[in-house]
Structure 1
Amino acid sequence: MIYQGNAISVSRGAGGSEGRADDNVATLIFDLQGESINKLSSAVVAELEAAVKAIRAEQGLTGLMIGSAKQAFIVGADITEFHGLFDKGEQYLVDMNLRVHDIFNAIEDLPFPTVTAINGLALGGGCEVALATDFRVMAEGARLGLPETKLGIVPGWGGCVRLPRLIGADNAIEWIAGGTENKAESALTMGAVDAVVPADQLEAAALALLTRANRGELNYQARRDEKTGPLGLNAIEQMMAFETAKGYVAGKAGKHYPAPVEAIKVIQKGAGEGRARAQAIEAKTFAKLALSDVAFNLVGLFLNDQVVKKKAGKYEKQAAAINQTAVLGAGIMGGGIAYQSASKGTPILMKDIKEEAIELGLKEVRKLFTKQVERGKFTTGEMAEKLTHIRPTLSYGDFAHVDLVVEAVVENPKVKDAVLTEVEGWVDEEAILTSNTSTISITRLAENLKRPENFCGMHFFNPVHRMPLVEVIRGEKTSDAAVAATVAYARAMGKTPIVVNDCPGFLVNRVLFPYFGGFNLLLAQGADFQRVDKVMEAFGWPMGPAYLLDVVGMDIAVHAGEVMAEGFPERMKHADETAIQVMYDNDRLGQKNDKGFYAYQQDKKGKPQKVTDETAIALVERVVTSHKTFSDDDIIARMMVPLCLEAVRCLEDGIVDSPAEADMALIYGIGFPPFRGGALRYIDAMGLGEFVTLADGLAEELGALYAPTAKLRDMARSGETFYR
């Protein structure tokens, strides 16, 4: 044994199939003890440094093979350490990265050929380890990538330096700016790896490359020269490669996400430099971005996502098997649910009482599958096979074998009650019933059920195939088994389930409607709704409130608003007529009938495009009671404070268990700007004291919708935060 640590071991000899020659090959294996995956924590990096020193001191070696004993190769750096590292400041981060560069450079400079055997995911720092060796071999199912820009940073351990020199600037920009995970075949085509083989042949193929290099058949030194020298582009080629890419990527990423463009700049600045200077440029940019609010919040987002997945995983372990499901109510929503279930492999019955509704649901299913075929996600054969997982029906005849039912009929408590009590008589006593309701109390819907313990909410967001969130709502009598089964089914559908407790609007809609309340108050005081939309979109929302209401539908907004007003009258009941109500009363429902706050026209692809509508502007004038002047900051405060306060109340009321789950639900459910981290992290960033002061000032004029809770005041006084 050359070296033994907690995460890394280095031994002499590999495979044993090539005779005594293998004894001269060192094998470095990543196998982090106590973890299911390999990640490059500070401790593991320190071990790697010690392991490389031991390899350099070992006599008689003719090669190094790096591999993994786990299913993945290395998934990247230990992101749980990032916030703590970022707190240490820019110079610390620069020095840290340069130390890691020294370790990876030592691997690259070993006096014999080196190879990485990539058996699974090799992401971020794991990819950068592989790039440091002369050769790379991938298993057929493995993936390679540098996703750092998704965390608001750039690759900091050589990715921006080595990858462009291996696969060309254009390809490297696509990989790094996009943060993509790339399949083995693509990596081979690009030149990022030297061979792709079945997993059981990985080690043999890696050792064969070392043998060929030692025989002189492969020039490993030329590989190193290519990776350590300047990028071979002249001035015109550089301009074409980088300037065009920066414009395109900036347009795709948007102004709130600077990392993709900064990554291109790093590659560009280092293009004419040797290894040391190019790495210094990379290290400096990494450190600068790491100290930004965007990086802090995107790292927080990643950590919150891990919390959500871990909790869902615990429920999943307790769940009974879900082999057959059903959706009640076809149409667009039912079709979307059926498509999502079938596309992920769970057979589903799609029932309705009308043949035309069944046809509408099937039309939606076929449309969604066809789009996936056009995008190359499925073959025509795979689509045909997946379509067999959906069985339309007008009767309950096959429901005896259903494990879980999703009721997705109209948002009417009487209709839902009738449907749920009816289907309960057809399913097995152990079957789980769920309701895809956005506002109606689960406890109320359970009142007439014989087995209320087997019933919970399963709230999908529209469009089902795009929106990642599913709210799983626990009623007063809902059992843990029902929640676990529903969470497991949501996960099987590729969704992110978050368990919440029952209340009007549950979590997401309860938090969203105070935002609409702030919008109504702005319009009543003379704000231009088109300007409000532009300000909130510039703030980071995918669409402003008026546009969002048009997409949601004014009828749905009015109905949900009435539920909210009944549940929370002191802050959500409107004394005066609102702009939303005026739109509804004048049959301006939004995109569903091509007129709302905006008018809608179909573009060449058949998608609705909004245009200014003078009729809508005149209608809004009816609710104006005064004309005030608002700055952009005023608009943001008037919109964001009530939303954030309701998120605080949901946490305090126990509707949601943790800040992480609350923030992730808002990001996944209504498109809260991810780079801002969520409502509670937004309050933290502002400072609880400053937020309470801002809210109090607004509450004096606007009332209870803007009033901080007593607990929030206490937190502000004591210097507490929602996170750390």
Structure 2
Amino acid sequence: MIYQGNAITVARGDDDIATLTFDLKDESVNKLSSAVVSELEEAVNALQSESGLKGLILTSAKEAFIVGADITEFQSMFGKGDDFVSDMLKRVHSIFNAIEDLAFPTVTAINGLALGGGCEVLLTTDFRVMGEKAKIGLPETKLGIIPGWGGCVRLPRLIGADNAIEWISGGTENKADAALKMGAVDAVVPNSELDAAARDILERANTGELDYQARRDEKKGPLKLNAIEQMMAFETAKGYVKGVAGPHYPAPVEAIKVIQKGAGESRERAQQIEAAAFAKMAMTDVAYNLVGLFMNDQVVKKKAGKYEKQSQPVKQTAVLGAGIMGGGIAYQSASKGTPILMKDIKDEAIELGLKEARKLFAKQVERKKLTTEQMAEKLTNIRPTLSYGDFGNVDLVVEAVVENPKVKDAVLTEVEGVVSEDTILTSNTSTISINRLAQNLKRPENFCGMHFFNPVHRMPLVEVIRGEKTGDAAVAATVAYTRAMGKTPIVVNDCPGFLVNRVLFPYFGGFSFLMEHGADFQHVDKVMEKFGWPMGPAYLLDVVGLDTAVHANEVMAEGFPDRMAREGKTAIQVMFDNDRLGQKNDKGFYAYEEDKKGKPKKVSDDKAYALVKEVVNEQKEFSDDDIIARMMVPLCLETVRCLEDGIVDSPAEADMALIYGIGFPPFRGGALRYIDAMGVAEFVELAEGLAKELGPLYAPTDKLRQMAQNNERFYAANAQ
């Protein structure tokens, strides 16, 4: 044994080939934490001291090769400043360069996922062989940073600038066949043949058949592009990527600049350019928030995983109510392999649900995600029915009929009588109290909410709503089924609007105040879209439907009359009263026309402006900052209240629900991170100023005021 550590071993074979194996103890995956990097340094030093070696194979004993750096260390590391980050990068570069400069040929056997730092490790070796199902990639730009351990230097020299720009700026995970075609790997074989393929390459390198020194020279020298080729490759790419990434995500364009600046340089100089840019990106709020987002996502997944372990597998499900929503739920379940009955009382509703599912499957075929045979097979997972005949074998039922408490109550009590005593009943409701719907059920412990967001196939969040009498088994089974559908479940407690809609409607309340004070709704939309929302509030209301908004607002006003009930008509109510329902009937705050693809395109409508004037009490001028404050403060305060009221368990879950459920700008990290970024004391001061003019919707809670006085935060500064 040449070296043995907690995560890395280096063994010498009888053929004088050394094998460096990544196998991090007590972990399911390999990560390049600071401790593992230290071990790698020791292992490389040991290899340099070993005489007579004829080659090195890098390999992994786990299912994945290396999933990347240890992201849990990022915020604490970045919080130490750019000098610390630069020194860390310099050290890693020296270790990776030492692998690249070993006195014998080297090869990586990529058995599984190799991302980020894991991909950068394998780029150091002379050759790479890849398992058929493995994937490699550099996803750092998705965290607001760039590859910093040589990825921006080695990958372009290996696969060409154009291909490297595509991989790095897109943060893609790339399959074996694509990697082979690009020249990122030298061979693709079944995993069982990886070791033999790696040894074959080393043997050919030692006989001179393969020139490993020429490979090194290519990676260590300048990119082979003349001035015109450089301009074509980089300037065009920067313009395109900037357009796709948008103004709030600078890392993809920064990565292209790094490749461009380093193109004419040797390895060490190009690495210095990369390190300086990485340190710059690491210090940005975007990187802090996107890394925080990753951490929050891990919290959510971990909690869901605990629930899942408490549940029996959900093997057969049913959805009550076909139509667009029922069809969407049936599609999602069937596409992920869980058979589902789709019941309605009308043939035409069944046909509408099937049509929706077929349409969604057909899109997958168009995108070459499925073959027509696979589509046909998956469609058999949906069984339409007009009766309860097969409901005795159903593990979980999703009720998705109209948003009317009397109708839902009748359907739920009816289905409870035909399913087994262990069947879990759920209601896909966006506003109706789970406690209320449970009142007439014989087994309320088997009932909870399962709130899907529209469109089901696109929106990642499902709120799992626990009522007062909901049992743990019901929550666990619903979480397990949500995960099996490929969705992210967040468990919340019952209240009007639950978490997401309860938080969203104060945002709309802020919008209504702006309309009453004479703001231009199109300008408000532009300001909030520039702030980072996928669509402004007026446009969002049109997409949601003004009828849906009015109904939900009534529920909120009844539940929280002190701050959500309003005297007089709002702009939202005026639109509804004038039969302007938004995209549902092609007129709301905007009018809608079909674009070339048959999708609704919004256009300005003078009639909408005339109607909004009916609610204007006084004419005020608003700066963009005023608009942002009036929109964001009530949303953030309601998120705080949900946390304080125990509707949601943690800041991480609250922020992830808003990002996954209503498109809160990811680069801002969520409502509670937004407060932290502003400073709790500064936020409270802003809210109190607005509350004097606009009332309780803007009033901070006592606990939030206390946090401000104590200089507290929702997330620990630079926390892991």
Give the aligned residue type for 1:318: Q
Paired with 2:610 and 2:253, the residues of 1 have a C-alpha distance of: 43
Q: What is the correspondence of 1:6-25 to structure 2 with a 5 Å cutoff? A: 6-13=6-13, 20-21=14-15, 24-25=16-17
Paired with 1:423 and 1:203, the residues of 2 have a C-alpha distance of: 57
Give the aligned residue type for 1:102: S
Q: Does 1:391 align with 2:383?
A: yes
Give the aligned residue type for 1:9: T
How far did residue 676 of structure 1 move?
0.1
Identical counterparts, % of pairs: 81
Q: What are the ranges of 5 or more consecutive residues in structure 1 without an aligned counterpart?
A: 14-19
Q: Does 1:375 align with 2:378?
A: no
**Could you tell me which of 628, 645, 651 is aligned with 1:653?**
645
How far did residue 92 of structure 1 move?
1.4
> What do the CA deviations read for 1:595-621 (whole angstroms, capped 9, x no partner)?
000000001111100000000010000
Quote the RMSD (CA, aligned, Å): 0.5
Q: Does 1:52 align with 2:44?
A: yes
SS at match of 1:622: helix
Paired with 1:140 and 1:350, the residues of 2 have a C-alpha distance of: 38
Number of the residue aligned with 1:530: 522
SS at match of 1:478: coil
Q: What is the correspondence of 1:296-695 to structure 2 with a 5 Å cutoff? A: 296-695=288-687
Give the aligned residue type for 1:140: E
Paired with 1:65 and 1:217, the residues of 2 have a C-alpha distance of: 18
Paired with 1:613 and 1:682, the residues of 2 have a C-alpha distance of: 34
Paired with 2:197 and 2:373, the residues of 1 have a C-alpha distance of: 33
Paired with 2:70 and 2:539, the residues of 1 have a C-alpha distance of: 40
Paired with 1:362 and 1:120, the residues of 2 have a C-alpha distance of: 38
How far did residue 393 of structure 1 move?
0.7
Number of the residue aligned with 2:208: 216
> What do the CA deviations read for 1:609-654 (whole angstroms, capped 9, x no partner)?
0000000010000000000010000000000000000000000000
> What do the CA deviations read for 1:194-232 (whole angstroms, capped 9, x no partner)?
111111111111111111111111111111011110011
Q: Does 1:188 align with 2:180?
A: yes
Paired with 1:46 and 1:131, the residues of 2 have a C-alpha distance of: 19
SS at match of 1:350: strand
Paired with 2:254 and 2:376, the residues of 1 have a C-alpha distance of: 44
How far did residue 401 of structure 1 move?
0.6
> What do the CA deviations read for 1:253-278 (whole angstroms, capped 9, x no partner)?
00000000000000000011110010
How far did residue 94 of structure 1 move?
1.2
Give the aligned residue type for 1:601: E
Q: Does 1:280 align with 2:275?
A: no
Number of the residue aligned with 2:4: 4
How far did residue 576 of structure 1 move?
1.7
> What do the CA deviations read for 1:557-596 (whole angstroms, capped 9, x no partner)?
0000000000000000011210000000000000010000
Q: What are the ranges of 5 or more consecutive residues in structure 2 without an aligned counterpart?
A: none
TM-score, reference length from structure 2: 0.99
How far did residue 695 of structure 1 move?
0.2
Number of the residue aligned with 1:119: 111
How far did residue 281 of structure 1 move?
0.4
How far did residue 475 of structure 1 move?
0.3
How far did residue 91 of structure 1 move?
1.5
Paired with 1:380 and 1:160, the residues of 2 have a C-alpha distance of: 39
Paired with 2:136 and 2:183, the residues of 1 have a C-alpha distance of: 12
Paired with 2:469 and 2:312, the residues of 1 have a C-alpha distance of: 19
Paired with 1:204 and 1:555, the residues of 2 have a C-alpha distance of: 65
How far did residue 503 of structure 1 move?
0.2
SS at match of 1:39: coil
Q: What is the correspondence of 1:56-95 to structure 2 with a 5 Å cutoff? A: 56-95=48-87
Q: Does 1:265 align with 2:281?
A: no
Paired with 2:157 and 2:588, the residues of 1 have a C-alpha distance of: 53
**Could you tell me which of 126, 129, 133 is aligned with 2:125?**
133
Give the aligned residue type for 2:142: K
How far did residue 413 of structure 1 move?
0.2
Paired with 1:404 and 1:189, the residues of 2 have a C-alpha distance of: 45
How far did residue 88 of structure 1 move?
1.0
SS at match of 1:164: helix
How far did residue 34 of structure 1 move?
1.1
Paired with 1:131 and 1:282, the residues of 2 have a C-alpha distance of: 15
> What do the CA deviations read for 1:371-399 (whole angstroms, capped 9, x no partner)?
11111111111111100000011111111
Paired with 2:701 and 2:675, the residues of 1 have a C-alpha distance of: 14
Paired with 2:3 and 2:391, the residues of 1 have a C-alpha distance of: 60
SS at match of 1:499: strand
How far did residue 130 of structure 1 move?
0.2
